[in-house]
Chain A
Amino acid sequence: MDDFIAARSQMAMSLAFHIVFSCVGMVMPFMMAIAHYKYLKTKKEIYKGLTKAWSKGVAILFATGAVSGTMLSFELGLLFPKFMEHAGPIFGMPFSLEGTAFFIEAIALGFFLYGWDKFNKWFHWICGVIVGISGLASGILVVAANAWMNSPSGFDYINGEYLNIDPIKAMLNEAWFSQALHMTIAAFCATGFAVAGLHAYLILKGKNINFHKEAFKISSLLAIVAALLAPLSGDISAKDVAKRQPIKLAAMEAHFETEESAPFVLGGIVDQENKKVDYAIKVPGVLSFLVHSDFNKEVKGLEEFPEDEWPPVPIVHYAFQTMISFGMLMMGIALIYLIAQFLKKEWKNKRWYYKLFMIATPFGYIALEAGWTVTEVGRQPWIIYGIMRTVDAVTPMPGIQYSFYIFTFVFITLSIILVFLMNRQIQNVAKLYDPEDPNFNPEKH
């Protein structure tokens, strides 16, 4: 494996894992806070159990996210030192604020986990909420830093030098809002579906049903709201990308030729060499409409740009298609949910209803990872869009493939252990968390 590919793969893999941990850390505290609020209001022990069960999940994934985040702050320099040398002072602002947010999150989590029956109950509750808010703030800040790589601003690039640096302007670059909005909604969607799916599965298994139904209620609500909002933020993102990075948009749609009334390309096999897409369904005018809100306007194709500035078109296109398809599926589920909520209440007692959510467990995360692939691979060959190429930023140290193998091994092992650990938590719901269960006895454990 060549060093450049190894460095990119290692970075991509680290991020792919870190995203999962950090999204859980952003969203689950809110679920926890809702359950906790219900407990404080109704005094029903089942909500306390649920809060505790979820907070265990938060604690485990937060700690894993914290170490993978620490790692990333080193990996940026280990793998792309030239990039960090120039970009650090420009796009570092959100990272320094993120440090603060993350610190607050860690402290608040400390208070929350160890604070049962020790503090004023509302102070304790607020700590849980602060975990969520600061997690969300961290996420948004990190995305702002990433957005700068897509939309560099806050400096003048003159003769290879980075001058007149304005870190605030760099942080509030053109892409930050649309990216942060879409990412936040996606995080809620992904975590919501994952948690709801898991509890749906446990409902189907038939044990501790009341407990899991309460969990399902809270998590599915967040999932559904987010699934319905995602297309809106996605639309904002698409329009924004079309304006700032037309080449990325063209790659997303495998749109080779500049056309008026450009079609929306669904599926198909990309043939980058011959600059065409085979077996695709083309919906005329829709791409023009999505980009310009006008069915007839022109959309620039890849042919407008030099070929050495093209991202790998097939990867970007397939990733985009994956994201859209899973987004649609989740929207469909959201509609069924709404019908079950308001029109056909009996659906909520049907097994197929929970099976549907069970199947959808990974959908949100699949869409989320695919979406990040679009953003990051779509930026290639640039590490700072239009300014610095990724190949010029990579570390001069040879043998990066070994580091890639080691980190791959570590991440896979870590994931296996995490699944194992979560499974053990779930196995013990009856004993540890569900007060209605005859075996409930948290003191013993």
Chain B
Amino acid sequence: MIYVVTAFLWVSTCLYLILGGADFGAGIVELFSEKKYKNQTKKIMYNSIGPIWEANHMWLIIAIVILFVGFPKMYADVSNYLHIPLVIMLLGIIARGTSFTFRNYDAVNDKWHNLYDVIFTYSSVVTPLFLGIISGSIVSGSIDNQATSFQDAYIFSWLSWFNVSVGLFTVVICSFLASVYSIQSVNNQEDKTKLRKRAKIYTTLIFVAGGIVFAVSVWKNIPLLEWITKQIYGYIAVSLATISIIALIYSLNKKKDQLTKVYAGLIVVMILFAVSYSHFPNLILFKDGTKLSLLKDFGAESTINMLAWALLLGSVFILPFLFYLIYSFNQRQKI
């Protein structure tokens, strides 16, 4: 049963990155779009996330609940040493979620909306940045569980060049996803061309940001390459991701928007797979070399069994309903 729970943890993280990530991306793309095209971008982006944005963020809650029910030691350690980035991420989540709601449900359209827009777009950058920093800290062995000073324990456990580069990479991934997903939400050819062009820019940025992560890992002696290439699956994942990027650019040129979406998803899944598989079954690496393993450091056996059943049962209820929502949402009016 522990494998079922682990699989759910991975899948919900993955879905959060793909769906929730695209939501964050919508805000980032809006922030960096040229001024005169901003309002149109806002409309397009809203149209591509609209009614499912709420559900997209449930995956984070599912992942967190799995963590604290199934792997309480990991949850406790992460929330202790990464307190500060978690709080910043939380503030980002609050600011983003509420401003998104406010700007869509406010009955009057006046200058208040400028404020909502500013909060929404900036928090859309901050939240995934810190999400990336947190993920980086967990897998790169930067959490100092032997620290004796405040700085070492609560600041330098997460603040490092490598973790920040992972944060930036996450931001780029999010905006890449959003830029690709949004193409299908418009009908107007002119808009489509513009969006495809933008998707290409963000695809290029993935190479750049990924390159930075590798460069920093070499500079700071983090054996990232070694981790990924330790197993044959790592190679396969990285090659698949690379092939998908090439295929994605090709399908962008050929205007096959549905296919482009699939490739974009595949790229992100492969990247996550390569990174998480490299340590499996370990999830958290500490600075002193100790590790917390998904297969060893879980809560009680009985809890894991019940949790697995709850998750399986939950999926039976949720998934058909969710797919129908996404399906009927895709049938709606385009702009």
Contacts and interface: CB of A to CB of B under 8 A. Distances in A.
Interface of A: 56, 59-60, 62-64, 66-71, 73-78, 81-82, 84-90, 92-93, 95-100, 102-104, 106-111, 113-115, 118-119, 162, 165-168, 395-399, 403, 406, 410, 414, 417, 421, 424-425, 427-428, 432, 445
A421 B69 contact: no
A76 B90 contact: no
Interface string B59-75: 01110111011101101
B276 to A, nearest CB: 21
24 contacts: A60-B105, A63-B97, A66-B97, A67-B94, A70-B57, A73-B65, A73-B68, A74-B86, A77-B76, A77-B80, A85-B76, A92-B299, A95-B68, A96-B311, A100-B317, A100-B318, A103-B62, A111-B51, A165-B299, A167-B300, A167-B302, A168-B306, A417-B102, A427-B107
Nearest to A154: B302
B79 A102 contact: no
A106 B58 contact: yes
A90 B109 CA distance: 48
B54 A109 contact: yes
B313 interface: yes
Q: Nearest 4 pairs between A and B by C-beta?
A: A89-B299, A92-B69, A77-B79, A88-B72
The winner among B90, B93, B314, B321 for most chain A CB atoms within 10 A is: B90
Contact of B80 (A74, A396, A398, A410): A396
A403 B85 CA distance: 12
Nearest to A169: B302
Interface stretch (B31-39, B248-256, B279-287, B322-330): B322-330
Contacts of B83: 78, 395, 397, 403
B107 A424 contact: yes
B310 A70 contact: no
B87 A403 contact: yes
A108 B317 CA distance: 12
Contact of A89 (B77, B93, B153, B300): B300
Interface of B: 50-52, 54-55, 57-58, 60-62, 64-66, 68-70, 72-73, 75-80, 83, 86-87, 90-91, 93-94, 97-98, 100-102, 105-109, 150, 153-154, 299-300, 302-303, 306-307, 310-311, 313-314, 317-318, 321-322, 325, 328-329, 332
Count chain B CB atoms within 10 A of each CB in A68, A85, A87, A162 and give the residue with the most.
A85
Nearest to A119: B328
A372 B329 CA distance: 40
A107 B56 CA distance: 10
A287 B316 CA distance: 49
A102 B302 contact: no
Main secondary structure of the interface of B (DSSP, over half): helix
A348 to B, nearest CB: 30
B310 A104 contact: no
Contacts of B51: 110-111, 113-114
Contacts of A56: 105, 107
Nearest to B307: A96
Contact of A107 (B107, B313, B325): B325
Interface SS majority for chain A: helix
B152 to A, nearest CB: 13
Given A95-B65, A114-B51, A425 B107 contact: yes
A70 B79 CA distance: 14
A81 B68 CA distance: 10
B31 to A, nearest CB: 20
A396 B300 CA distance: 25
Contact of B302 (A64, A165, A421): A165
Contacts of A115: 328
Nearest to A114: B51
Contacts of B72: 84-89, 92
Contact of B98 (A76, A165, A414): A414
A86 B72 CA distance: 7
Contacts of A119: 328
A66 B58 CA distance: 9
Contacts of A118: 328, 332
B62 A99 contact: yes
Nearest to B50: A114
Contacts of A71: 90, 93-94
Contact of A110 (B54, B65, B66, B80): B54
Given A95-B68, A432-B107, 12 more contacts: A60-B102, A84-B72, A85-B76, A88-B76, A92-B69, A92-B72, A93-B69, A96-B311, A96-B314, A102-B58, A103-B318, A104-B321
A71 B98 CA distance: 13
B73 A66 contact: no
Contacts of A59: 101, 105
A104 B87 CA distance: 27
B106 A88 contact: no
Contacts of A60: 101-102, 105
A414 B299 CA distance: 36
Contacts of B329: 110, 114
Given A84-B76, A114-B51, A118-B328, A103 B58 contact: yes
B22 to A, nearest CB: 16
Given A100-B317, A167-B306, A406-B91, A428 B300 contact: no
A96 B101 contact: no
B75 A84 contact: yes
A165 B100 CA distance: 42
A215 B52 CA distance: 29
A69 B58 CA distance: 11
Contacts of B101: 59-60, 63-64
A445 B58 contact: no
A76 B68 contact: yes
Contacts of A428: 107-108
A66 B54 contact: yes
Between B69, B93, B313, the greatest number of chain A beta carbons within 10 A of the residue's beta carbon is seen for B69
Contacts of B310: 93, 96-97, 100
Contacts of A73: 61, 64-65, 68
B309 to A, nearest CB: 10
A70 B302 CA distance: 26
A175 to B, nearest CB: 20
B92 to A, nearest CB: 10
Contacts of B80: 77, 81, 395-397
A180 B284 CA distance: 37
Contacts of B90: 70-71, 74-75
